[in-house]
């Protein structure tokens, strides 16, 4: 077993950037916008990667993509994930994002979504190792910032090739690798495997980050011990619980579990998060983006189902603010009154 104090002292270095710890927020479409990235960094994430940006230049002028390129006020280093299957287009996308403030470029070869894989992007690329090499060579050669890579263990259980992909990445000049412990065929089902991540770590000298099913501080420690990787990447477990980074960081440093945030802290954090969303997206879109976060924050709380029903019908930020303050006074009765 790795000494707790040693895990707690570990950081990850990517190019010129020495992260404050070895905890990374995973890129998630529709989730890891600038307000959420900054919140997770404030609460302990050493790095937070943006939502996926398409390599298709025709989409760069869209409002959605322009928001994904907005890093104003974000704590460094600013990491942007790009996705595509054409080496020259990926190189152009990398240059475009660096020109717009990206300090790290992350390449998506891990997304299992059909709409991405049908374009031969995301995890579909794992089936063509020669193309993987051409894309990585093209992107690394196009920019003067560190390039990182996100993969899965392979296309399916008969085609686990993560070790070969990792070696291709290292040879191309990729400076860190994140691996989700499932194949593309697994989606998010079953339990994330650790043996492939361990094999990847043993095969390369660049930092390796393990991803998948890291929902608690204890699980984070267990994954680090089992795989010997350099850090962990947390995705779905941070939805509605950005404090998980603070809790994991504390546990790795001290071996003790922090108490859960108080209702007052949850409410204060949530209110600030919602205000950041309203400011970032504007009233109409901000209200709609806020709904999913409010649903996540309220899960497991008394009256949460009633709150979610009410907040999902709210049409204005003022109405959402009222519902938040009523619900997070800790009273189940207050939550029930929301739809009365």
- Which residue matches tokens 């399916």? 156
- Concerning whether 194 is annotated as a catalytic residue, the answer is no
- Residues whose CB falls within 8 Å of the CB of residue 225, separated by 6 or more in sequence, listed in order: 1, 2
Bridging pattern class, strands 17-18 and 13-14: antiparallel
User: What angle in degrees, to the nearest 10, is found between the helix axes of 283-298 and 263-281?
Assistant: 160
CA distances to 228, 245, 322 from 298, rounded to whole Å, are 35, 19, 15
Query: How many whole angstroms separate alpha carbon 240 and alpha carbon 304?
Result: 13
C-alpha distance from residue 249 to each of 3, 44, 45, 148, 206 (Å):
14, 7, 8, 23, 22
Structure tokens at 224: 């680090």
Q: Which secondary structure element, helix H or strand E, spans residue 41, and what is its range?
A: helix 34-42
> CA 24, CA 44: separation in Å to the nearest integer?
9
At 161, phi and psi to the nearest 5? -130, 25
Single out the catalytic residue among 40, 111, 186, 194. Answer: 111
Determine the straight-line distance between the first and last CA of the chain, rounded to whole angstroms: 55
DSSP states of 221-276 as a string? HHHHHHH--SEEEE-GGGTT-TTHHHHHHHHHHHS-PPPPPPHHHHHHHHHHHHHH
Q: Which residues are catalytic?
A: 111
């Amino acid at each position: 077993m790795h000494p707790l104090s040693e895990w707690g002292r570990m950081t990850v270095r990517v190019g010129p950037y020495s992260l404050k710890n070895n905890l990374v927020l995973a890129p998630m479409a529709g989730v890891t916008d600038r307000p959420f990235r900054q919140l997770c960094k404030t609460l302990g994430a050493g790095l937070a990667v943006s939502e996926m940006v398409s390599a298709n230049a025709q989409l760069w002028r869209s409002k959605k993509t322009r928001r994904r390129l907005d890093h104003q006020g974000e704590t460094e280093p600013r990491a942007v994930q790009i996705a595509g299957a054409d080496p020259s287009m990926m190189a152009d996308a990398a240059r475009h994002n660096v020109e717009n403030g990206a300090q790290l470029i992350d390449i998506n070869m891990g997304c299992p979504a059909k709409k991405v894989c049908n374009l031969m992007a995301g995890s579909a690329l794992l089936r063509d190792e020669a193309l993987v090499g051409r894309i990585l060579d093209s992107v690394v050669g196009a920019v003067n910032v560190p390039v990182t890579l996100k993969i899965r263990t392979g296309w399916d259980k008969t085609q686990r090739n993560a070790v070969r992909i990792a070696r291709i990445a290292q040879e191309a000049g990729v400076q860190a690798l994140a691996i989700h412990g499932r194949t593309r065929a697994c989606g998010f089902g079953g339990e994330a495997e650790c043996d492939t991540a361990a094999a990847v770590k043993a095969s390369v000298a660049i930092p390796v980050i393990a991803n998948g099913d890291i929902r608690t501080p204890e699980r984070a420690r267990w994954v680090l011990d089992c795989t010997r990787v350099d850090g962990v990447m947390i995705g779905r477990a941070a939805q509605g619980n950005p404090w998980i980074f603070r809790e994991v960081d504390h546990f790795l440093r001290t071996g003790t579990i922090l108490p859960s945030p108080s209702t007052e802290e949850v409410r204060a954090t949530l209110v600030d998060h919602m205000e950041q969303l309203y400011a970032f997206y504007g009233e109409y879109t901000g209200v709609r983006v806020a709904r999913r976060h409010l649903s996540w924050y309220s899960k497991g709380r008394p009256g949460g189902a009633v709150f979610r029903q009410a907040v999902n019908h709210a049409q204005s930020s003022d109405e959402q603010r009222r519902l938040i303050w009523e619900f997070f006074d800790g009273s189940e009765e207050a939550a029930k009154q929301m739809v009365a």
